[in-house]
Amino acid sequence: MTSSRFTYANVASTLALVLVLGGGGTAVAAGALAKNSVGSKQIRAGAVKNPDLARNAVTATKVKNDSLTGADVQESTLAEVPSAAFATTAGRAGNVHGAVVRSNGVLVTGQSLNAVSSARTGTGLYQVVFATDITDCAAVASMTTPGVGIFNFPGEVLTTGLEANGSGLYVKTFDSAGAAADRSFAVAVVC
């Protein structure tokens, strides 16, 4: 019969076996990881979720350019864009003028904004006058027919300021061949 003796080797191997089988070995191994020793290669895809990240852990310098979309941004966290100060109110709407003019020169007042008068002064030549000076404003015009569901004749339209009146425009209309022709038009002026 042999005597049972506890040796250091017996105790150490038994303890190691208990730790590995009981899960304690994982805790010991995790506690022994060096700082920054786990990287992308060691992390399974999709394993890291938002709750796993520290607050403000992901900053602009850590995000690849053009990798985020609008769906990735919480809109309530965004501040107003400095150059969009005028977009928050309609306070600048007074600087917009518009006129719809029939081919005979009559102003369609129900479809016009800040327009005072219009007149046909020759074949395809019109004058439109607005309530305020539009000298430093941009004007754009297009062929139109007042009303709904009616299309006008093809052609072109040009605008230029009135020499004698800073509140007015000359509008010249042409047919598709480039000859002066009476056409209905709409003009918008933005200051």
Asked if residue 125 lies in contact with residue 170, where contact means CB atoms within 8 angstroms, the answer is yes
- pLDDT confidence bin for 160, thresholds 50/70/90: very high
Q: Which residues contact 94 (CB under 8 A, 6 or more apart)?
A: 114
Sheet holding 115-122, edge to edge: 115-122, 125-130, 168-175, 155-161
DSSP one-letter code for 95: G
Q: Are residues 59 and 124 in the same domain?
A: no
What residue numbers bound the domain in which 45 lies? 8-65
CB atoms within 10 A of CB 122: 9
Within a domain: 84: no
- pLDDT confidence bin for 25, thresholds 50/70/90: very low
Asked if residue 182 lies in contact with residue 173, where contact means CB atoms within 8 angstroms, the answer is yes
For 65-87, what is each residue's pLDDT tens digit? 877 777 777 777 777 766 665 55
Q: Are residues 108 and 59 in the same domain?
A: no
Q: Are residues 49 and 98 in the same domain?
A: no
For 100-143, what is each residue's pLDDT tens digit? 999 999 999 988 999 999 999 999 999 999 999 999 899 999 99
Nearest Cα to Cα of residue 166 among 120, 116, 106, 125: 116
The two structure tokens encoding residue 186: 């709409």
Looking at 65, 81, 112, which one is the last position of a domain? 65
Instruction: Give me the number of domains the chain comprises.
Output: 2
